[in-house]
Amino acid sequence: MDILMEEVFIEQIIIYGSVLILCAITIYFYVRNKKVISKETEKKVAIAKEEGLFEPISLHPYIDLNMCIGSAACIEDCPEKDIIGIANGKATVINTSNCIGHGACFHGCPVEAISLRIGTETRGVDLPHVNEIFETNTKGVYIAGELGGMGLIKNSVEQGKQAVENIIKSKKVKVPNVIDIGIIGAGPAGISATLAAKKHGLTSVTLEQDSLGGTVYTFPRQKIVMTAPMDLPLYGKVKLYETSKDELLKLWEKVIKAHDIEIKENTKAENINLLNNNTFKITTNKGEEYICNNILLAIGRRGSPRKLNIPGENSMKVAYRLIESERIKNKKIMVVGGGDSAIETVLLLKDTNNVTLSYRKDKFSRLKPKNREKIMGAIEKNTIQVLLNSNLTSINDTSVLVNFGENKPPKIVDNDLVYIFAGGELPTAFLQKAGVEITKRFGYIMKKHK
Ligand SMILES: Cc1cc2nc3c(=O)[nH]c(=O)nc-3n(C[C@H](O)[C@H](O)[C@H](O)COP(=O)(O)OP(=O)(O)OC[C@H]3O[C@@H](n4cnc5c(N)ncnc54)[C@H](O)[C@@H]3O)c2cc1C
């Protein structure tokens, strides 16, 4: 009996001991894994700070550390890479300046520890004054979409539609021979507003400085994520949670065509003036004028690229951003500029094309360290040509003319494509000219769980 008990006792010790050892091993690996993840995240944060990617540019997640349980759901849901990581068991932001205000992290957090903010305590962001019906301080001028601070395709579509409904509710008296709404910008907000205007029988004109689709058209990647269905006027519910940029653009084009709507692409609204009879005159870069009873600004927050204003610049071979670089091969390309966008474009194109960079200064300054290192490497290996102290003076069908200042001979460079990165004009000045008041917001909360 004693021997039997002893055997049972030993057996139990072995079982419990094994379980304890297994638990200890699991805990050890769990803790070690957490430490490794923490270290990796801390390293990424340090690099982000060094490269100037840590500070947010626009809408971004703010994590309440007292509420965060480190579930990592926000990381899984974010379609971008390394915006958020886990350090010491809690979520932390990394490359915040790459955040596109998608808000998937905000929706994904199981404990509502994330709010979406614009600006930080030290870095303010200009936000126009809009009331709950999207009207600005100037009566008859409305704002929809990302310009008002709220990003995402679905939100912009919803705001475009609601802004038009609010214009109808405002019951501003119609003026004969005057367009009911002048819509500026044909991104998600402007497209939706245009469709809503048609649906409600209003006359409208939509001006787009670039191409239909707005920021969506310029996405460097195909994948688009929408956290909820969007309600597109004249179409209904669009239940595309994960789609491609092409599919979404095609859908918009189809609805616009089906309803015989014209969107004036490559037409930039340059000025909006209030006239004596409380209507507005929009003047475009093409010298056209439109008199409108109401204005809807759906111009996003990315502004307009600055032009060089040289002969040939309006040719089809000139672009102000790079889209789908992998499709561009065996071309003679001139990239103009010396900032990170120009350098990143050169780096993306140089392996499959013959790339020349023209920069007006004698050296690069304020580049991200990684870009500096890569561009210097490319110059050393002669995989690109760099023309410093140079200015493009004209663009022709098969070449460009580059000037190097007085007493130096100009150079004709064979060319198929030109990319210009000469900075941008922010929408702020345009808005102020239109009489819209703007305030700098520091860490303003755009969306918070209730
Ligand atoms: C890389 C990237 C990826 C993204 N991915 C997603 C995603 O997967 N899902 C999602 O929901 N959101 C995503 N977003 C955010 C989304 O694209 C924006 O929130 C949305 O496009 C905002 O729509 P909008 O109509 O307000 O402005 P925009 O799309 O920016 O459109 C504004 C338009 O106005 C035009 N314009 C400006 N000034 C003038 C002028 N003076 N005259 C005429 N036209 C003018 C511009 O050319 C532009 O076409 C992403 C953003 C980026 C940058």
Give residue-wise pLDDT tens across range 218-271.
876 667 777 678 899 999 998 877 788 889 999 999 999 999 999 999 999 999
- Provide mean pLDDT across the span 110-135: 89
Measured in angstroms, how far is the CA atom of residue 190 from the centroid of ligand 1? Answer: 10
For residue 369, the model assigns a pLDDT of 82
Pick 2-118's CATH classification: 3.30.70.20, 1.10.490.10, 3.30.230.70, 3.40.50.20.
Answer: 3.30.70.20
Measured in angstroms, how far is the CA atom of residue 107 from the centroid of ligand 1? Answer: 21
pLDDT in tens, 146-173: 898 877 898 899 999 999 999 999 999 9
Looking at per-residue pLDDT, the higher value among 31 and 276 belongs to 276
Of the listed ranges 116-125, 221-230, 386-395, 439-448, the least confidently predicted one is 221-230
**Cα–Cα distances in Å, from 147 out to 59, 284, 302?**
11, 20, 9
For residue 273, the model assigns a pLDDT of 94
For residue 200, the model assigns a pLDDT of 97
Domain spans of the chain, in order of start: 2-118, 126-303+427-443, 318-424
Segments of 337-408 assigned E as strands: 354-358, 385-387, 391-395, 399-403
pLDDT in tens, 338-375: 998 899 999 999 999 999 999 999 999 878 888 899 99
Residue nearest atom 13 of ligand 1, based on CA coordinates = 152
CATH number of 318-424: 3.50.50.60
For residue 448, the model assigns a pLDDT of 65
Measured in angstroms, how far is the CA atom of residue 159 from the centroid of ligand 1? Answer: 13
Side-chain-side CA neighbours of 200 within 13 Å: the count stands at: 19
Asked if residue 450 has pLDDT above 60, the reply is: no
Site to probe by mutation for ligand 1, drawn from 295, 299, 322 as the one with most ligand atoms within 8 Å of Cβ, is 299
- Provide mean pLDDT across the span 182-211: 97
Q: Tell me if 118 sits within 8 A of 96, measured CB to CB.
A: no
3-state per-residue secondary structure call for 278-307? CCEEEEECCCCEEEEEEEEECCCCCCEECC
**C-alpha to C-alpha distance for 148 and 367, rounded to whole angstroms:** 30
pLDDT in tens, 89-106: 999 999 998 887 778 899
Residue nearest atom 51 of ligand 1, based on CA coordinates = 100
- Tell the residue number behind the tokens 């709950």, with chain if given: 132
Indicate if 318-424 has the same CATH topology as 126-303+427-443: yes
pLDDT in tens, 55-64: 887 789 999 9
Atom of ligand 1 at shortest range from CA of 144: 26
Looking at per-residue pLDDT, the higher value among 249 and 28 belongs to 249
3-state per-residue secondary structure call for 2-38? HHHHHHHHHHHHHHHHHHHHHHHHHHHHHHHHHHHHH
Asked if residue 4 has pLDDT above 60, the reply is: yes
Percent of the chain with pLDDT over 90: 61
Q: Is 404 helix (H, G, I), strand (E, B) or coil?
A: coil
Measured in angstroms, how far is the CA atom of residue 233 from the centroid of ligand 1? Answer: 18
Chain mean pLDDT for the chain: 91
For residue 158, the model assigns a pLDDT of 94
For residue 13, the model assigns a pLDDT of 87
Domain 126-303+427-443 has CATH 3.40.710.10: no
Looking at per-residue pLDDT, the higher value among 6 and 181 belongs to 181
For residue 50, the model assigns a pLDDT of 83
Measured in angstroms, how far is the CA atom of residue 297 from the centroid of ligand 1? Answer: 12
Q: Which residues line ligand 1 (CB under 6 A)?
A: 79, 100, 102, 145-147, 151-154, 156, 184-190, 207-210, 214-216, 219, 224-226, 268-269, 298-300, 302, 304, 430
